Amino acid sequence: MAGIGIRLDHMVHSGGLGLAALALGQALLLAAGQWMLAVLGLAAAGALVALIAGPETVIAFRLVVTIAVLSAMLATAAPLLVAGRALSDALYAQRPERIPALISGMAALSVLLAAALCPAFLSLLGLDRASGVMPASVALAALFALLWGLAGQATALRRFGAVAVALLAGTVLSVAAVAGALVAGGGLAAMAWGYGAGVALSAGALARALFRTFPFDAGPLWPAMRDHLVALRRHGALAGGSLLGALGLWIDKLILWNLPGGQVSAIGLRYREAYDGAVFFGLLALVPGLALLLIAFEGRLFLRLRAWMGELLGHATLEEIRAESADLAQETVGDLRRVLLVQAVVAFGVCVAAPRMAAAGWIGALQAPVLAFTAVGCVFYLAALGAALVLINLDLARRYLAVQAVFCGATALATGLTLLIGPQALGLGFPLGALAAGGVGFVLMREALDALPRHVFRRAAAPG
């Protein structure tokens, strides 16, 4: 995504306010468009269901979609990151004819994984199989995996309008189809199929845009999937880190859903009324930071690393290389701190608004602290993401894996410990886990930047 970040950064600094706003909008779309629209689309569909059906139907519908999203996120995590690496390599090598096979192999593998994970999670969380919603849920998870896999490669497109229209049109169709299913007297399965129709529309439009940008023969599907499995094995640390990072975002919910103290929906699925909605909307506070990470951090990091390598290949002296390394480290840390400052301002706004929202009756009294804790956790999580980007760019995959392992493990541990404290600590698992990952990530990032010359020289001297 570095190339897109460079372009958006140029738009911000070379044009007026309108061009800067356009760049921010494009960054929001590319960084978190599918997640943001999924949450907002689910909220809108749930509001319509509440007007037509009872609250039990709303809860059951949201849970079905949530489990589909969970399955898709875990299924796409590793294939998507490895495919992004392979796509970047293909573009750098000027071999765009490889890209359709990369995309199709990644997408097919993600769909199969999501279709396998979804019934496992539904069964784990107690779904009543008599509800008849299992096939629709599995199909919805597979469609989400397809959409997110394709959306993850959308940074290779210059037609941002096509990406925006695809995501927005699909979200509108999802909401409308859910309402239509209810009006027609359809049940929960029909609502899930209706929501999936919008997801399918978005996925189809993105696939069309991608394959029109790279109009080459993708070849048979099985060889493409096999090649992707080989790539996953070759980049095992990257794949494992991405999977643990995605699991870390859900591990607190999985723990809370499977422990006493929650509620059970009409179709048997367990949930936490005081936790789930507040956490998902609290994570939306991360969206501005993700956009800034793309505009004001990743692209600049790439340019600095390229300039540093230019100095190295230009036979600079050792002292000059060390001086350039120190400047690179200082500027990179400075960029990350500025992004985190903006994210901290967003978190402060959410913390101020949360009790007022509870007083106005928009959220429950127990949801207000969960919302605030999640917004604060987004600051630490963004720090971990920034550090992870640096480690990935420096090809330090094992350190990236370590950061994500700390995030997942610390979040699980903190969630368990906060349950011992009582309801007042509900929601602290994510921010504490993100704090641990952000701290470890910052230390590993800083050490890698400070030791950049030694790291590059060792890699160059390594056999093979």
Q: Is residue 90 part of a domain?
A: yes
Q: Is residue 278 part of a domain?
A: no
Asked whether residue 288 falls in the same domain as residue 436, the answer is yes
Q: Give, as one character, the DSSP assignment of residue 294.
A: I
Is the model more confident about 5 or about 244?
Answer: 244
Count CB-CB contacts under 10 A for residue 349: 12
Q: Is residue 39 part of a domain?
A: yes
Q: Is residue 270 part of a domain?
A: no
Range of the domain at 94: 2-250
Asked whether residue 181 falls in the same domain as residue 296, the answer is no
Q: Encode pLDDT of 321-378 as tens digits.
A: 777 788 888 888 898 999 999 999 999 999 999 999 988 888 888 899 999 999 999 9
With beta carbons less than 8 A apart as the criterion, state whether 311 and 328 touch: no
Nearest one of 65, 29, 31, 34 to 277, comparing CA atoms: 65
Asked whether residue 213 falls in the same domain as residue 318, the answer is no
Asked whether residue 240 falls in the same domain as residue 291, the answer is no
Q: Is residue 255 part of a domain?
A: no
Whether residue 68 is predicted with pLDDT greater than 60 in this model: the reply is yes
Q: Encode pLDDT of 205-231 as tens digits.
A: 888 888 888 888 888 889 889 988 999
Residue at which a domain ends, from 196, 228, 250: 250
pLDDT band at 405 (very low <50, low <70, confident <90, very high): very high
Q: Give, as one character, the DSSP assignment of residue 259.
A: S
| Helices H / strands E in the chain, number of each | 18, 2
Please name every residue paired with 442 in a beta bridge, in sequence order, or none if there are none. Answer: none
- How far from the centroid of its chain's Cα atoms is residue 13's Cα? 27
Q: Encode pLDDT of 411-435 as tens digits.
A: 999 999 988 888 888 899 999 999 9
Asked whether residue 206 falls in the same domain as residue 330, the answer is no
Count CB-CB contacts under 10 A for residue 15: 13
Asked whether residue 331 falls in the same domain as residue 415, the answer is yes
Asked whether residue 328 falls in the same domain as residue 183, the answer is no
E-assigned strands of 352-410?
none
- CA atoms in the 13 A half-sphere facing the CB of 349: 10
Burial code (b: 16+ CB inside 10 Å, e: under 16) for 44-69 equals bbbebbeeebeeebbbbbbbbbbbbb
Q: Is residue 266 part of a domain?
A: no
Q: Is residue 267 part of a domain?
A: no
| pTM for the predicted model, two decimal places | 0.88
- In DSSP notation, 158-183 reads S-HHHHHHHHHHHHHHHHHHHHHHHH
| Strand, coil or helix: 94 | coil
Asked whether residue 245 falls in the same domain as residue 321, the answer is no
* Number of domains observed in the structure of the chain: 2
In this prediction, residues 254-280 reach a mean pLDDT of 89
Return the percentage of the chain with pLDDT > 70, whole number. 87
CA distance 287 to 347: 11
Asked whether residue 332 falls in the same domain as residue 185, the answer is no
Asked whether residue 209 falls in the same domain as residue 322, the answer is no
Asked whether residue 244 falls in the same domain as residue 293, the answer is no
Q: Is residue 432 part of a domain?
A: yes
Residue at which a domain ends, from 232, 250, 268: 250
Asked whether residue 444 falls in the same domain as residue 317, the answer is yes
Residue at which a domain ends, from 200, 228, 250: 250
Q: Encode pLDDT of 96-127 as tens digits.
A: 888 888 889 999 999 999 999 999 999 999 88
